[in-house]
Amino acid sequence: MGKVAVTAAVIGGAAVCAAVALLVRHQLRNSSQSSRAAAILKEFQEKCGTPESKLKQVADAMTVEMHAGLASEGGSKLKMLISYVDNLPTGAEEGVYYALDLGGTNFRVLRVQLGGTNGGVVDQEFAELSIPPSLMVGTSQELFDYIAAELAKFVAQEGDRFQLPDGRKRELGFTFSFPVMQNSIVSGTLMRWTKGFSIDDAVGKDVVAELSSAMERQGVEMHVSALVNDTVGTLAGGRYTNKDVVMAVIMGTGTNAAYVERSQAIPKWHGPQPESGEMVINMEWGNFRSSHLPLTEYDNELDAESLNPGEQIFEKLTSGMYLGEIVRRVLCRMAEESALFGDTVPPKLRTPFILRTPDMSAMHHDTSYDLKVVGNKLKDILEISNTTLKVRKVVVELCDIVARRGARLAAAGILGILKKTGRDSFKDGDSQKTVIAMDGGLYEHYTAYRECLEATLKELLDDEVAEHIVCEHSNDGSGIGAALLAASHSWYLS
Ligand code: GLC
C-alpha cells in the first residue's frame, strides 16, 4: 500500500470512528432525554393520583367545610352563600322576561315568553357576545356600560311575538357568576373576582346598583327583579323541566355548585324561616381547598402566578380556564429538562395560557393513527413542527392525566354534597331520584372529562344508590333560570 493510500485509510477510519462516536453520543443523549421526559411524566402522574380512598377523603372534607360555611360567615373557605331563592320555579311563571348572563368568556342576553301553567317556554331569543379582554381588567363603569349598551341593542330588536302588558316595565333576571354576598334577591355586593376578571373598583359594590346605573346611562328602561349566580340559575332552569333537580354544577371557565338546603340547617341565617323550609345555597366550591387535594409543583406555580393567588384552588385543579395551562406548564418543564421538542425550548411554550382547554380537548380526543390533530395543534399554537409520534403520545398522555384528575375531583365534590344532603345512601323502599343539573363548556364539550366525571361518581356510590342519581345536561339553563326567577320575584306580584 502506498503512503497516500495509508494516509487516506487512516483519515477515513478516523472519520468513521468520529461519526460513530457522535451517533452513539446522540443516541445516548436522546435515550437519556426521553427517559427524563418519561420520568417527569411518571412523577407528575403519581402526584396527580386520585384513588377512590383519596376521593372519599376529599368528599368528606367537602362535607365538613359545607357545615362550617353554613355555621357562620367566614367559617370556611367555602362561602356557602345564601341566595335568597327559597322557592324554585313551579311552571306557573308567565309573561315576557329578560335575562343577562355575565361570568365567563362570553355573556348572553336573552328574552323569553313564559306560557304559565303547562305552557312552558313559548318563545325565546338570545344574543351571545364575547367580553373584550381589556374590559375584564378595566373599570366597573366600563364593564357595566358595555353590557348595558348591548342589552339596549337587544331590547330594541324585540318583535311583536313578545308581549309586555300595558303599563309595565320590562323585567330582568341578572346572572352574575362571581362570589356575591346577597342582601336580598335583588341586591348583593361583589366579594372578589374570579376567572381572570380583576376590576378593583367593583369589589364591595352592589352589582345591581352598578348595572341599574349603567342601564340608565344607556337608556334601558327595565327593573332588575332577580340577581342570581349561574349555579342558582341552572338549578332553577333545571327544576322548571324536572322536579327531581336538587343541585346544579357548573364546569366551565370556572366551577361551582348550588343545592337546595333545609333552611333550619343554616345556623348563619337569621332571617325569617321561609314557608318552603328551603333555601338555595351557592357554595362557591371553586374556593374549596384541603390537604387531601393532589397538588403538584405545577399547580402551586400556576396559583402563585395567577391574579388570585391562594384562592380558588379547587377551581384551578378542575375547571376550563386552567386545565390547558397545567398541560403547558408540564410540557415546558419537559422541554427544558429533556429537550422534548429539540435543543431549545420553543418560545411560544413559555407564554402563559397560550394552550387553551378546547385545544387540549381536541388533542386528547385525537383518534387518528398518527395523531395528526396533536401534530397540527402543536404546530399552529406552539409553533413546534415535525413532532414524532412518540412525542405526540406523550402530549396525549399528559392531557389524560390532567383531565382525569380534574374530573375525578369534581365527582368527589358532588359526592360531598350528596353526603351533606343524605342522598348518598339508599334507604329501603326509598325510590327518591336525585337529578343534578350540569352545565358549562367543559362539561358540554370535553367528552372524556364528562365521561370520567360521571363514571367516577358511579364508582364512588353503591350500585343501588347510583341508579337513582342522574347528571342531566341543562343547556344554558342559567339564563332561562334567571328569567324564571325574575318572573317569580316580579315587581308586579303582590
Ligand atoms: C367561579 C365563580 C362562581 C361561578 C363559577 C362558574 O367559580 O366564582 O360564582 O359560579 O365560576 O361560572
Residue 213 CA to residue 291 CA, distance in Å, equals: 44
> Using alpha carbons only, what angle is made at residue 482 by residues 476 and 485, rounded to the nearest 5 degrees?
140
The identity of residue 228, as a single letter, is V
Angle between helices 320-338 and 357-364 (to 10 degrees): 70
Q: Residue 319: is its pLDDT beyond 50?
A: yes
Q: How far is the CA of 3 from the centre of ligand 1 (A)?
A: 83
- What is the average per-residue pLDDT within 179-202? 96
pLDDT band at 257 (very low <50, low <70, confident <90, very high): very high
Quote helix, strand, coil % in the chain, to nearest 5: 50, 15, 35
pLDDT at position 296 is 98
Cβ of 456 below 6 Å from ligand 1? no
pLDDT at position 18 is 52
| DSSP reduced 3-state for 223 | strand
Beta bridge partners of 107: 102, 129
Residues with Cβ within 8 Å of 493's Cβ and at least 6 positions away in sequence, in order, are none
Residue 301 CA to residue 362 CA, distance in Å, equals: 25
Phi/psi region, residue 323 (left: phi>0; alpha: psi -120 to 50; beta: rest), is: alpha
Strands (E), 401-473: 434-439, 469-473
Cβ of 178 below 6 Å from ligand 1? yes
pLDDT at position 12 is 52
Three cell numbers, residue 194:
374570579
Q: Residue 246: is its pLDDT beyond 60?
A: yes
pLDDT at position 25 is 46
pLDDT at position 359 is 98
| pTM of the shown model | 0.92
CB 250 within 8 A of CB 282: no
* 258-314 per-position pLDDT tens digit: 999 999 999 999 999 999 999 999 999 999 999 999 999 999 999 999 999 999 999
- What is the average per-residue pLDDT within 227-234? 97
Alpha helices in 263-371 (DSSP H): 297-304, 313-318, 320-338, 357-364
* 27-54 per-position pLDDT tens digit: 445 566 678 888 999 999 999 999 999 9
pLDDT at position 476 is 77
* 372-409 per-position pLDDT tens digit: 999 999 999 999 999 999 999 999 999 999 999 999 99
Residues with Cβ within 8 Å of 380's Cβ and at least 6 positions away in sequence, in order, are none
Closest CA to 226 of 262, 235, 135, 106: 235
Whole-number Cα distances in Å, 421 to 92, 245, 286, 415, 425: 27, 13, 19, 10, 10
Residue 476 CA to residue 345 CA, distance in Å, equals: 41
CB 268 within 8 A of CB 78: no
Choice among 34, 76, 177, 338 that is catalytic: 177
Residue 163 CA to residue 113 CA, distance in Å, equals: 8
Active site annotation includes 428: no
Cβ of 488 below 6 Å from ligand 1? no
Atom of ligand 1 minimally distant from the CA of 287: 7
- What is the average per-residue pLDDT within 110-116? 94
How many residues are recorded in the chain?
A: 494
Three cell numbers, residue 243:
322536579
Residue 285 CA to residue 62 CA, distance in Å, equals: 9
pLDDT at position 28 is 43
Angle between helices 52-71 and 447-460 (to 10 degrees): 90
Active site annotation includes 177: yes
Cβ of 316 below 6 Å from ligand 1? no
The identity of residue 125, as a single letter, is E
Closest CA to 94 of 113, 110, 80, 77: 113
pLDDT at position 427 is 72
Q: Residue 241: is its pLDDT beyond 80?
A: yes
Q: Residue 3: is its pLDDT beyond 60?
A: no
pLDDT at position 27 is 46
Give percent of the chain above pLDDT 70: 93
Residue from 81, 255, 281 to probe ligand 1 pocket by mutation (most atoms less than 8 Å from CB): 255
Residue from 131, 251, 256 to probe ligand 1 pocket by mutation (most atoms less than 8 Å from CB): 256
pLDDT at position 19 is 52
Atom of ligand 1 minimally distant from the CA of 231: 10
Please give the mean pLDDT across all residues of the chain.
Answer: 92
Active site annotation includes 192: yes
Q: Whose CA is nearest to atom 3 of ligand 1?
A: 178
| DSSP reduced 3-state for 105 | coil
pLDDT at position 494 is 61
Q: Residue 2: is its pLDDT beyond 50?
A: no
Residue with C-alpha cell 409553533? Answer: 383
* 121-180 per-position pLDDT tens digit: 999 999 999 899 999 999 999 999 999 999 999 999 988 888 788 889 999 999 999 999
Please state the φ and ψ torsions of residue 104, each to the nearest 5 degrees: -135, -145
Q: How far is the CA of 256 from the centre of ligand 1 (A)?
A: 5
Domains and their CATH numbers in the chain? 51-80+245-432+434-467 (3.40.367.20), 83-241+476-488 (3.30.420.40)
Q: How far is the CA of 108 from the centre of ligand 1 (A)?
A: 16
Q: How far is the CA of 467 from the centre of ligand 1 (A)?
A: 29
